Structures are given as structure tokens and as C-alpha cells.
Amino acid sequence: MHRLPTCTLALALAACSGGTRATPTDEPRAAGEPVAPDALAGPSAAEQARARRAAFANPGGMWMPRQMIDHAARLRELGLEVDAAALADPTAAPLSAVVSLGGCTGSFVSAEGLIITNHHCVQSALQLNSTPEANLVETGFVAATRADEKPAGPSQRVYVAQKMTDVTAQMLEGLSAIAEPRDRGREVEAREKALVSACEQDRPAVKCRVSSFFAASEWQLIEYLELRDVRLVYVPHRAIGNYGGEIDNWAWPRHTGDFAFLRAYVGPDGQPADPSPDNVPFQPPAHLELSVEGVAADDLVFVAGYPGRTSRLQTAAEATRMATWTYPRNIEKARLRMAVLERLQQAGGETAIKAGVLRQSVQNVLEKQEGILDTVARGDLLANKAADEAALRTWAAADASRARYLDALDRLTALLADTWAFEDEHEAWRDAVNASSLLAEAVFLVRWVHEQQQPDAERKPGFQARDRSLVEAKQRTFTRKFDRTIDRALWELMLTRAAAEPAAASWLRPMLGLGKRGKLDARAIDQALDRIYRGTQLDDEAARLALLDATPAALGRSKDPFVRLAVALYPLVEALVAREEADKGEALLVAPVYAEGLLAFRGGGGVAPDANSTLRVSFGIVRGYQLPGGEPYTPFTTAPQIVEKHTGAEPFDAPAALREQIATAAWGPYAAAALGVVPVDFLSDVDTTGGNSGSPILDARGRLVGLHFDRNKEGVASEVYFLAETTRSIATDIRYVLWVADAVDQADHVLRELGIEPAL
């Protein structure tokens, strides 16, 4: 492993800047001898900025774009070369080039709708286009022409943020006057739907969402352009895009080329449209410029994207619950699912392809949660959370005007305890109902039918007329992703697990259609599943789509076992929804007050809200890290190290074409000056989480230098408590992306569209 020098602040000005430094001579300067002008000159502005970056301790923060203005002075000191205001406006470059893919992030990199994201973000699209004879999940894909680009899937969307409006007053005004918690929750939901409806009225190309921040003390109405025709352009081989697989997942060093290209299309009139051969490439409001020079150690970088969820503003009780109950149970169940999916990967055919894609997803979450618990066990995370909360209580108790913050914290803690007791009681039931994707679809469709009996404005979000086109698209996607063998195996797993709990017999027997006296064992479950799957036609797309227009009476007459079970479960599901509404309504009066107190205690503007799948910006430094007692990790890996790691067996099975090109040592313009070879991945301490996958890493001039795809295992606990010393984000270096496209895959047309002339 190549190691780069680590410099302290004291040494940085003299030895690490790469600029001019004093050179010792054999002869001392004579008294009175004039001093050369260069000797009098202090460090240059660039050298000073580099020294400040080397000494910078990142506080973390996934900042709302507007908050970047608050960091303008610090960013200038760290060497920012663009106006900080450019990082504060989501509707202007470069942020307007960053898009949500619905779970991942992408960014436009050409004026013709070309999008770059992660390899692992397009696994579903590859699977939808794969057959046992042409397994694109394995081989990757390069479209020779635009006519050869393949659909990314019926439900794939690209969301381009266009406007953000503060609607806090509209959402919160008068809520305290509503006495019943469930009514309060319903009122907030009604206000949200009204705002969305007004935003989307007569604008079919626009999707609007109301998102809350700082524990629902702030609300924003966000407007997105929704692009519905998305196609695969270029994805490298699996053993490039997922090199190292689960062994290297959440680890460093990494050698993963986690990149892929999509393209967004619109109708001939330039407006979003359903997929059609007549559609034309979308012309984005902005696209990112790539930097072939890339970045070096101690450089300033940014990440812009749509991070999913963090819980740093949670209470100490919530952190303890996570560490002692939620994650341990999730890990146990994920390991069981992994074993089932690993077995099914040996089945061959489409079942093996689908099991492999699903297993990668399960394994990713599993290892992340294992990493969080490992960090909790090794460190003082829970103690730190408790100490922080104790300090908050001391601060609030010191002033009578802050008493409401203590009251809110106490009420919130009591509410959470009540909610957790309910979760404990229903855990096995929820697991059993959710384990089968076919049953989950049946439950959704039954809810859909019942919701349609209400006026559109009174239906639940997700069940309104505005949602129908996406619901239909998801049903078409479900058809291509569903596999009976996988579905049955995973459902049987969770039913068998539930049967081991005596209390589950009261609901498990009727769920499976078993009598009151028969054995509730593996044989009985197996026979019940044989009957249920033999009698269903719900895996037929036409049958599911037809249910969208059914009536409750028609559902009651259905003979399909999954539909009948979903009908029987409907009252229980509605009771759970009512419970969640009441909990939400209760929290609406106390959580915002707690958040207000926490922000006042921490200094207000210096706090980033928890991630909630809205656009955020983080900044940091390209740097390695060192664990106590361990060797220092340098921030770059290189292409030759791929061959050193190669074993010929998955996951270290680098393709022959890749190894041959590495052997030539023909790096072209893509070699890093400090390394002499092409870098593969790099580390930085930018703050990221799930949903940031595919996020562009930008340099101090706003140019694309990498793609975020992972974090180190020691840093995943930053979702709860940011640990600056060991939290690192891992990115694929853009120079490796370009080198692979040029030297390995000969994707010359893609390079030229990126503004790069092929050189190899």
C-alpha cells in the first residue's frame, strides 16, 4: 500500500505545500548581507490555506444549501475558489446539476442529459434487462449508440430540484389548539396534501413534497421536475464496479470502480414524458465539469447529494434503544436472510440473478449496522450521548424560561417508551407480514381499493390520483423483479421464526389457515405455503393492475389466497396506521420544542438538521486516518494494487482486460501527479450517509473529481454521533472512471460527450 506523508500544522508550511521553501546552504549569511526578496516573503495564500486544511478538524454536518453561507469565511480560509453563494442555491450551478434517483444520487455531466452515479445504484436496472443468456449484472453494458441504450425500469425516476419554499407557519399554526393527538396528526397530513396539491395543480411535469427539518420545527415545500424516461448508457463489468464485494464492503483500502452512466429523456416538446422511441435527451439546467487533474491529499472537497436518514438529534434513550434492541434484532434477521439468499444463488437461472442482487442489498445494510454496533461497543458513543443530554438538562434548568425544554424532553422520552413497548409486542407479526413481497403487494392493493372510496383530498399520501402512474410503474417493475422461489423461502423463514414464540400462535394459525389443534411446526407451515402459492395468481401483472380499479365488495369475493389474507389483515393494518397517527400527533407538540432547545443550547446556526432525503452539502478534506495502535491509512489506492489483490476468485476476480491494461502501465493523462499511476479510490472526511451513493465529489473550483459510494466501517456510527477522527467517506476517483472508459471499455463516445478526448 502506498503511503503519503502526514504533516502536522507546524511542518505543513515548510514541507508539505509543494511550494518554495528555504534551502540550507553550507555558508552562513554574512552580517549585513542583503536578504533576497524571496527569503523575506512569508507563505503564499495557497500554502496558508493548505496548512489550515491539514489542521482542520471537521465538525461534520449535512448542511441545507442555505447554510453554506454561514460557512463562507471558513471555506475561503480553506481555499474555496468559487463564491460560497454558488453552494447555497439549489437551483443554480453546480447544485442544479445534482439530482435524486430515488434512493441514490446522480449528477448531470453533459448538456444531453447524461447522468453519472454508482454501479450499485443501477443493479435493479441491470437485472431488469438481464437473462440467463445475457447477464448484464455480471458483464456490464456499453450502449454503442443512443438507440442501443436500455430502459432503466418503469419506475425509475430522476428528480431535479427547482424551488424550495418555507411553509413552517402554514404547517404548524394552531396545532396546539387541537386536543386529540390523532386529529392533530391528521391535520398536519391534510395541510401537507393541500400544499402539494396547490403546487402541482395544472403542472403534470412537477412533483412536490413537504419535508420537515429539526424534528418538525421547520417545514419546506420542495418542487421537483420529474423525469420518467431513464436509460442505461454505460456500466462497467461487475468485477470492476463491485471489486472486493462483501469482503471489502465498508472497508479501506478499496479498489472499486463504483460508477455507471444513465441518460434522462423527455418528449419532443422538451417536457417530461413516458418512455417512447420518439423522446429526446433532456437538456439540464446545468452540468458538471470534470477535472482530469483530480485531487491530492489535503485538498478541499465537497459532496452534494440526497442523504437518506441520520439520527444525531435523537435523545440518549433513542440511541440506547438503537444499540440494544433495534440493530441487534435487525442484524440477526439479516444474517438469516443472507443464508437463504446465498443458498438460492446456487439454483441457477433468473432466481440466482435476482437472489444475488437482493443479497447484495441485504448484506450492505447488515454490515453497516454491524459496524455501528462495533463502534458503540468499542467507544463511548452512548456515554457521550448521555453526557450531551445531561449538559442540555443542566443548561435548561439554569433558567426558568427554558423549563419548557425540559418538559418537552421528558414528554418525548415517555412517548418513545410507550411506542417501543408497542413495537416489542408486534415485532414478530410485522416481520411475518412483511417477509413476503407478494403479501406486501396484496396488503397495499387492498389499502388502495379502500382509499379510493374516499374523495381524493382525503386519501392517504401514496394513495391519491397523483400517485397512480408511479404505482402502475412499480407494478410493472415488480413483475420483472419478483421470484416465487425467493419470496416463499424468505416468508417461510420468518413464519418459522415466529412459530417459535408461543404468543404468536393466536395470529399465526389464522394467517396460514390452520386449525386450532394442529401442530404449528415446519411441516404445517410448508404445507400451508404450498396451498397459498398454488392458489394465487397475484404474481401476474394484469391481475394486480386490475385490482387498482376493484371495489371492497369485489375484494371480499376474491378466491386468491393472498388477496383473502390481505383482506383479513386490513383491520389490523388500519389499527396500526391509527396508532402511528396518534403517536405522530403527540410528537408534533413536543419534538419541535425539544429541537428548539437543543439548537439554542448548541448555538443554532452551527447545527445541521438530520438527513431526510433532501438536498444537502457537506465539505471536508482529502485525508487518511489511523486507528489507535494501527498503521496509518493513506487516502488513495491505485490501479496496480488491483492486480496485487487479484486471486481469480470472486470477489477479487479482476477482468482480464483490466489486468492487461494495468500491466501496460499506460496511464495517459489520468495518472495522479503525486502517485505516478491512476488512482482508484480516495478518502475524505466529508459527512455522508445512505442516499449519498452516487453523489458527486467536487473540488474547490466546483469540478467533479469523484463519486461517493461508501464509508469506512469505523465511521458508520456517525449516523448517530459524528466521529471526526475516524469517519471517512470513500469515493471512486474520476481519473479511474475515465481511464477504465478509455483503456478498458473503449467507451470513446461517452468520453467525448464528457468533453474528454480518448487518449489510449
Residue pair 406/530 in contact (Cβ under 8 Å)? The answer is no
What is d(CA 472, CA 448) in angstroms, rounded to the nearest whole number?
12
For residue 651, whether the previous peptide bond is cis, meaning omega lies within 30 degrees of 0, is yes
The grid coordinates listed for 494 are 420468518
Residues 151-172 pLDDT 10s: 999 999 999 999 999 999 999 9
Angle at 637 between CA 631 and CA 642, to 5 degrees: 115
What is d(CA 104, CA 691) in angstroms, rounded to the nearest whole number?
5
What is d(CA 621, CA 643) in angstroms, rounded to the nearest whole number?
28
For residue 181, whether the previous peptide bond is cis, meaning omega lies within 30 degrees of 0, is no
User: What's residue 608's pLDDT?
Assistant: 94
User: What's residue 18's pLDDT?
Assistant: 32
The grid coordinates listed for 398 are 439554569
Q: Report whether pLDDT(340) > 50.
A: yes
| Pick from 76, 163, 116: nearest CA to 755 | 116
User: What's residue 516's pLDDT?
Assistant: 76
Q: Of 212, 229, 255, 258, which residue is the catalytic one?
A: 258
What is d(CA 229, CA 240) in angstroms, rounded to the nearest whole number?
27
Q: Report whether pLDDT(21) > 60.
A: no
The grid coordinates listed for 584 are 405522530
Mean residue pLDDT of the chain comes to 92
Strand order in the sheet with 696-699: 616-621, 300-305, 696-699, 704-711, 729-733, 679-684, 636-638
Residues 292-328 pLDDT 10s: 999 999 999 999 999 999 999 999 999 999 999 999 9
Which position has the higher pLDDT, 20 or 730? Answer: 730
Taking every pair of Cα atoms in the chain, the longest distance, rounded to a whole number of angstroms, is: 108
| Pick from 760, 661, 622: nearest CA to 240 | 661
Q: Of 558, 693, 695, 718, which residue is the catalytic one?
A: 693
Counting beta carbons within 10 angstroms of the beta carbon of residue 465, is it exposed (0 to 12), middle (13 to 18) or buried (19 or more)? exposed
Q: Where are the beta strands (DSSP E) in 685-736?
A: 696-699, 704-711, 729-733
Strand, coil or helix: 683: strand
Active site residue 120: yes
Residue 357: other Cβ atoms inside 10 A:
19
What is d(CA 155, CA 551) in angstroms, rounded to the nearest whole number?
25
User: What's residue 514's pLDDT?
Assistant: 87
Active site residue 693: yes
Residues 383-413 pLDDT 10s: 999 999 999 999 999 999 999 999 999 999 9
Residue pair 525/496 in contact (Cβ under 8 Å)? The answer is yes
Confidence label for 723 from pLDDT (cuts 50, 70 and 90): confident
Residue pair 652/236 in contact (Cβ under 8 Å)? The answer is no
Counting beta carbons within 10 angstroms of the beta carbon of residue 542, is it exposed (0 to 12), middle (13 to 18) or buried (19 or more)? exposed
Angle between helices 327-344 and 484-499 (to 10 degrees): 140
**Yes or no: domain 65-157+228-311+607-753 corresponds to CATH 2.40.10.120:** yes
Query: What's the whole-number mean pLDDT along residues 715-723?
Result: 88
Query: What's the whole-number mean pLDDT along residues 538-542?
Result: 96
Active site residue 258: yes
Residue pair 466/204 in contact (Cβ under 8 Å)? The answer is no
Confidence label for 91 from pLDDT (cuts 50, 70 and 90): very high
Strand, coil or helix: 374: helix
User: What's residue 41's pLDDT?
Assistant: 57
User: What's residue 518's pLDDT?
Assistant: 72
pLDDT > 90 fraction of the chain, expressed in percent and rounded: 87
**Amino acid of residue 736:** Y
Listed by start position, the domains of the chain span 65-157+228-311+607-753, 408-602
User: What's residue 658's pLDDT?
Assistant: 98
Is the alpha carbon torsion for 245, 246, 247, 248 positive or negative? positive
Query: What's the whole-number mean pLDDT along residues 252-267?
Result: 98
Sorted by sequence, the CB contacts under 8 Å of residue 464 that are 6+ apart come out as 193, 456, 457
Residue pair 172/592 in contact (Cβ under 8 Å)? The answer is yes
**Amino acid of residue 404:** R
User: What's residue 312's pLDDT?
Assistant: 92
Sorted by sequence, the CB contacts under 8 Å of residue 488 that are 6+ apart come out as 436, 529, 533
CA dihedral 685, 690, 694, 700 (to 10 degrees): -30
Residue pair 716/726 in contact (Cβ under 8 Å)? The answer is no
| Pick from 367, 413, 330: nearest CA to 594 | 413
Q: Report whether pLDDT(115) > 80.
A: yes
Phi, psi at 242, each rounded to 5°: -130, 35
Q: What separation, in Å, do the N-terminal and C-terminal C-alpha atoms of the chain show? A: 26
Is the alpha carbon torsion for 216, 221, 222, 225 positive or negative? positive
DSSP notation for 380-411: -HHHHHHHHHHHHHHHHHTSGGGHHHHHHHHH
> How remote is the C-alpha of 669 from its chain's centroid?
32
- What is the reported pTM? 0.90
User: What's residue 732's pLDDT?
Assistant: 98
Residues 193-231 pLDDT 10s: 999 999 999 999 999 999 999 999 999 999 999 999 999
What is d(CA 372, CA 319) in angstroms, rounded to the nearest whole number?
11
